[in-house]
Amino acid sequence: MRLTAPRGTTTRPTSDRVKEALFSLLDSAHRLQGVRVLDLFAGSGALGIEALSRGAAHVFFIEKNRQALDSLRLNLAHTRFTDRSEVLPFDCMQALERLARQKIRFDLVLLDPPYQAGLHEKVIELVGNALLATDGLVVAEAAARTPLPEKIGPCSRSDQRIYGDTALELYTMEQDHAP
């Protein structure tokens, strides 16, 4: 199904090649059926919508850009996933703090911030400390030329896949930090 994307360069969509590889990996690891997903820096919502189409129970979309939010809401209506989703129109850190106060845990966290913003480590640490389920997985899309650290807060990198200029960095909770 074709999704709407915001105009301009403020939103950088995940390439089809990377998205296909990511969801093949998640499908083969049985990480999508019935899970609760957090899609951070959601943009048009393509990653979270793909998770819903493959069996995720519910997706929380975090996006603050007005144009991206318009596209995201149109895409959710078009795909008929509004009943299995929640859109939080906030800055990422505000949204994470709000979700942490509600004590919501996520099985899968999809993270694709602007590469140059330097948010990967801060967000992964906060997610690991307050929002990640015991067996949860964080998937961070990052620049391949600047790999993320092996360990961030209570999370350790369990896998890394490189696709051209893009890296998918997968993190899980270390057992001694599990809630």
pLDDT in tens, 133-172: 999 999 999 999 998 999 999 999 999 999 999 999 999 9
3-class state of residue 178 by DSSP: coil
What domain range is 136 assigned to? 16-177
Q: Answer whether residue 4 shows pLDDT above 90.
A: no
pLDDT in tens, 25-34: 999 999 999 9
Number of domains in the chain: 1
Give the other-Cβ count within 10 Å of 29's Cβ: 11
Asked, for residue 38, whether it belongs to a domain, the answer is yes
Work out the mean pLDDT of the chain and round it to a whole number: 92
Angle 142-146-147 from CA coordinates, rounded to 5° = 70
Asked, for residue 4, whether it belongs to a domain, the answer is no
Asked, for residue 3, whether it belongs to a domain, the answer is no
* Residues 6+ away with beta carbon under 8 Å from 53: 79, 81
Q: Which of 64, 37, 36, 47 is nearest to 3 (CA)?
A: 47
pLDDT in tens, 94-110: 999 999 999 999 999 99
Tokens matching residue 148: 């993320």
pLDDT in tens, 6-63: 765 555 567 788 989 999 999 999 999 999 999 999 999 999 999 999 999 999 999 9
The span from the CA of 163 to the CA of 21, in Å, is 9
Sheet holding 151-152, edge to edge: 85-88, 58-62, 36-40, 106-111, 132-143, 166-173, 155-163, 151-152
Asked, for residue 11, whether it belongs to a domain, the answer is no
Asked, for residue 149, whether it belongs to a domain, the answer is yes
CATH number of the domain within which 44 lies: 3.40.50.150
CB of 121 closer than 8 Å to CB of 92: no
Asked, for residue 144, whether it belongs to a domain, the answer is yes
Going 102 to 96 to 137 to 16, the CA torsion angle's sign is: positive
Give the other-Cβ count within 10 Å of 80's Cβ: 9
**Residues for the chain: how many in total?**
179
